[in-house]
Chain A
Amino acid sequence: MTRIARRIDALRASGRKAFVAYVMAGDPDYDRSLAILRGLPAAGADIVELGFPFTDPMADGPTIQEAGQRALQAGMTLHRTLEMAAEFRRGDAQTPLVLMGYYNPIHAMGVPRFLSAARAAGIDGLIVVDLPPEEDDELCLPARAAGLDFIRLATPTTDDRRLPQVLRNSSGFVYYVSITGITGAAAASAAEVAPEVARIKAATDLPVLVGFGIRTPEAARAIASVADGVVVGSAIVAEIAAGRTPEEVLDFVRALAAGARGG
């Protein structure tokens, strides 16, 4: 059983919603980024998504785009991201760590080399935005064979005809993108999201977590009430961009996590 599956089971057993926090590795620099990363589990993150930067993040809005630029300027690479993950893992054996980004840096490293490095660093799952099911032999199938979860995005355009294909090689959880749009865009309402989550849950046993556009504890509470959990990225990254200290960023994460749990 993977670390993600164990965490999901534990959440289900206690009847809690999952709260997933996203940060960009190396934003604003390696040390402060590591400090935030290490603090996320205690601040309430059940699962951590660690972004690795790419020059051309086609599915991201300005907030994550700029985080990637800050990280790249501070010297972050995929290799250094895996080093950061390993440092995190040395101090935390329980919290699932999901790597999120675009395919080209992985392609440049080479898939076999990447997978063994990711395993060694304690990575549990991957979200790669520009790898739809049509390209599963590129990374999804080798990653599953290596014991990593491959978490797929389902979107409002993923219709019932296509949904089984999207779910087929998915594992860990399903990441439902609440809007047609880029990260950091306007949020969908819980009323819009609820039937979509129900539609996906009818087709899979995996938990369905909802992300994109969730910016406040109130929104986290509303969306979590109609799903298995929520993912927050841009709103946390915006705090980092505003120059907050790691402690201040983690305070904001605590409020989001409390919101997601209905507190």
Chain B
Amino acid sequence: MAQDLSNALRSGPDERGRFGIYGGRFVSETLMPLILELEAEYDRARNDPAFAAEMEDLWKHYVGRPSPLYLAERLTAHLGGAKIYMKRDELNHTGAHKINNVLGQILLARRMGKTRIIAETGAGQHGVATATVCARFGLECVVFMGAHDVERQKPNVFRMKLLGATVVPVTSGRGTLKDAMNEALRDWVTNVRNTFYCIGTVAGPHPYPAMVRDFQSIIGRETRAQMLEREGRLPDTLVACIGGGSNAMGLFHPFLDEPSVRIIGVEAGGKGVDARMQHCASLTGGRPGVLHGNRTYLLQDADGQILEGHSISAGLDYPGIGPEHAWLHDIGRAEYVAVTDEEALEAFGLCCRTEGIIPALEPSHALAHVMKIAPELPADHIIVMNMCGRGDKDIFTVAAALGQEM
């Protein structure tokens, strides 16, 4: 398959915001004019050298980019196969990749004259990043968070409050990321004239999936340059976890037209991908539908009702996935696999002990898949996994899952 690829996999979406049949603009009329305005402003911004220069400056001096590309020697030795590198995006300011995108969107919001920023958050990392950048620029910030997630991510809730944001617990549905996104959309419809919706992942109506991907692609561009400098060649395999899929798309996108690079996305398999739907693996266990402004793979029943998934990781607890991933899945350019809660917890522990890095539960899923494939691969095979977040926020969840006292 790899030889047949054209040179155009990075060129999407089309003018309707579609990647193949996925994506689009499935929103109410109230939001449509604003979405078109956002698209036009984003087109102007990305061709404006001043916008790029401001991003570069903030990435370097405020976020701490570039993040290191780190050779995990002890993990490589432990697994006894492929050479494992970690892209250390957990070292960014606020502790995850989310701030890459938030900076871009907040700079856009300022260009558009919006004074109030809203965001949805699952694990709280996107909420913290949004609250942080809003504080940095003196903007009002309201973060919608499922009530269940408020409970399991208390440290991040407090961080957002310290940063001056208002955190709104959402009790509709099961109180997770999907419900937070519904409530953010309702707020946006109501306050559309002064409010900018800062979406945290590569989903939502066009232009969000493309725009968030572009802001996150700094991860892949850095990885590419760092790998060429370090090893003199491209990596063989990329592995990243996927909820909505922003860290994965950021790592993958600059490599899509490199047929030698194998690309693997890791979904949250929860308690196992089977008929009981105790998972959040949209590609592995869902089918195409329309939610939150785009067509993509969704966990849904025969009537098109959206199902509540399950994952130990609040950041992956979402019944959909970014539309570009859905397309890459269908055309076979990327592979998508699922990892269970238990496997992720095992990877979490191993990473703490062998590398002295406490990973977030989200990238622990990616690491769990690396643990499966690395031992079978030769020593000259290079894997890059995206360490997209640090695990300080997860220690309570992990302690509870392991039945340990803090």
Pairing of A with B:
yes
State the A residues within 8 Å of B (CB).
53-62, 65, 72, 77-79, 102-109, 129-135, 152-159, 162, 166, 177, 180-182, 185
* 14 pairs, CB–CB < 8 Å, chain A vs chain B: A57-B182, A58-B292, A60-B186, A61-B186, A78-B303, A104-B289, A104-B304, A104-B306, A107-B290, A108-B303, A130-B27, A134-B25, A153-B28, A153-B29
B61 within 8 A of A: no
* Given known contacts A55-B173, A59-B28, A106-B304, A185 and B33 CB-to-CB distance under 8 angstroms: no
Would B186 and A58 count as touching, CB distance under 8 A? yes
Q: Is the CB of B16 within 8 A of A104?
A: no
B372 within 8 A of A: no
Number of residue pairs spanning A and B whose beta carbons lie under 8 angstroms apart:
119
For A155, list chain B residues within 8 Å (CB): 28-30
- In the complex, A154 Cα to B30 Cα: how many Å? 8
User: Which chain B residues border A78 with CB–CB below 8 Å?
Assistant: 303-304
Query: Given the interface contacts A55-B173, A77-B303, does A104 sit within 8 Å of B29 by beta carbon?
Result: no
Within 8 A of A (CB), among B258-300: 288-293, 295, 298, 300
Instruction: Assess whether B172 is interfacial by the CB under 8 Å rule.
Output: yes
Known: A132-B26, A153-B28, A157-B29. 5 other contacts (CB 8 A): A60-B186, A61-B186, A109-B303, A157-B33, A180-B192
In the complex, B178 has a CB within 8 A of chain A: yes
Q: Could you say which of A72, A104, A153 has the most chain B C-beta atoms within 10 Å of its C-beta?
A: A104
Contacts of B32 in A (CB 8 A): 132-134, 157-158, 162
Q: How far is the CB of A212 from chain B (nearest CB, A)?
A: 10
A79 touches B189 (CB 8 A): no
Task: Specify which chain A residues have a CB less than 8 angstroms from the CB of B29 in the assembled complex.
Answer: 132, 152-155, 157-158, 166, 177
How near does chain B come to A180, taking the closest CB pair, in angstroms? 5
What residues make up the interface of B, taking CB atoms closer than 8 Å to A? 16, 24-34, 172-173, 178, 182, 185-186, 189-193, 288-293, 295, 298, 300, 302-306
Closest partner residue, chain B, to A152 (CB atom): B29
In the bound complex, CA of A55 to CA of B174 (Å): 11
Docked complex Cα distance between A158 and B30 (Å): 7
Chain A positions within 8 Å of B304 at CB level: 54, 78, 104-109
Contact residues in A for B178 (Cβ distance below 8 Å): 56
Question: Complex formed: what's the CA distance from A199 to B33 in Å?
Answer: 17
B190 to chain A, nearest CB (A): 4
Secondary structure at the B interface, as helix, strand, loop or mixed, is mixed
Contacts of A162 in B (CB 8 A): 32-33
| CB-defined contacts of B185 to chain A, threshold 8 Å | 58
Describe A's contact surface by its main secondary structure. loop
A106 to B303 CA separation, bound complex (whole angstroms): 8
Whether B289 pairs with A56 at a CB distance below 8 angstroms is: no
Q: Are A56 and B28 interface neighbours, CB within 8 A?
A: no
A256 nearest CB across to chain B (Å)? 24
Residues on the B chain within 8 Å of A61, using CB = 186
Task: Report yes or no: A131 in contact with B303, Cβ–Cβ below 8 A.
Answer: no
User: Known contacts A132-B29, A157-B33, A180-B189; is A56 also within 8 Å of B291 by CB?
Assistant: yes
**Contact in complex: B189, A135 (CB < 8 Å):** no
> Which chain A residues lie closer than 8 Å to B33 at the CB level?
157-159, 162
Do A180 and B190 touch across chains, with their CB atoms under 8 A apart? yes
Give every chain B residue within 8 A of A72 (Cβ-Cβ). 305
Given A180-B192, A180-B193: A54 and B305 within 8 A (CB)?
Answer: yes
Q: What chain A residues lie within 8 Å of B16 (beta carbons)?
A: 134
Which residues on the A side are within 8 Å of B26 (C-beta)? 103, 130-132, 135
The answer for the CA separation of A156 and B304 in the assembled complex, in Å, is: 30
- Closest beta carbon of chain B to A94's beta carbon, Å: 30
Min CB–CB distance A140 → chain B (angstroms): 13
Which residues in B have their C-beta under 8 angstroms from that of A107?
Answer: 288-290, 295, 304
* Residues in A neighbouring B34, C-beta threshold 8 A: 157
- Cross-chain contact B186 with A130 (CB below 8 angstroms): no
- B289 nearest CB neighbor, chain A only: A104
Query: From residue B263, how far is it (CB to closest CB) to chain A in Å?
Result: 28
B355 nearest CB across to chain A (Å): 40
CB distance from B176 to the nearest CB of A (A): 12
Query: Which residues from B are CB-within-8-Å of A109?
Result: 303-304
Question: Which residue of chain B has its CB nearest to the CB of A165?
Answer: B32
Whether the Cβ atoms of B290 and A103 lie closer than 8 Å is yes
Contact of B291 among A104, A133, A134, A180 (CB under 8 A): A104
Bound: A55/B306 CA distance, A: 6
Chain A neighbourhood of B31, CB < 8 A = 157
Q: What is the chain A residue whose CB lies nearest that of B172?
A: A65
A108–B302 touching, CB < 8 Å: yes
Q: Which of A53, A134, A153, A155 has the most CB of B within 10 A?
A: A134
Residue in A58, A108, A133, A154 whose CB lies within 8 Å of B289: A108
- A162 and B178 CA atoms in complex are apart in Å by 30
Given A55-B173, A185-B190, A177 and B293 touching (CB < 8 A)? Answer: no
* A158 to chain B: closest residue by CB: B29
Most chain B CB neighbours (cut-off 10 Å) among A55, A62, A65, A106: A55
Docked-complex contact A135 and B25, CB < 8 angstroms: yes
A155, chain B: closest CB distance, angstroms? 4
> In the assembled complex, how far is the CB of residue A55 from the closest CB belonging to chain B, in whole angstroms?
4
Distance in Å: Cβ of B321 to nearest Cβ of chain A: 15
Please, which residues of chain B bring their CB within 8 A of the CB of A177? 29-30
Kindly state the separation between the CA atoms of A44 and B293 in the bound complex, as whole angstroms.
36
| Contact between chains at B192 and A58 (CB < 8 Å) | no
Whole-angstrom distance between the Cβ of A76 and the nearest chain B Cβ: 9
Q: Which one, A102, A157, A185, contacts B192 given CB within 8 A?
A: A157
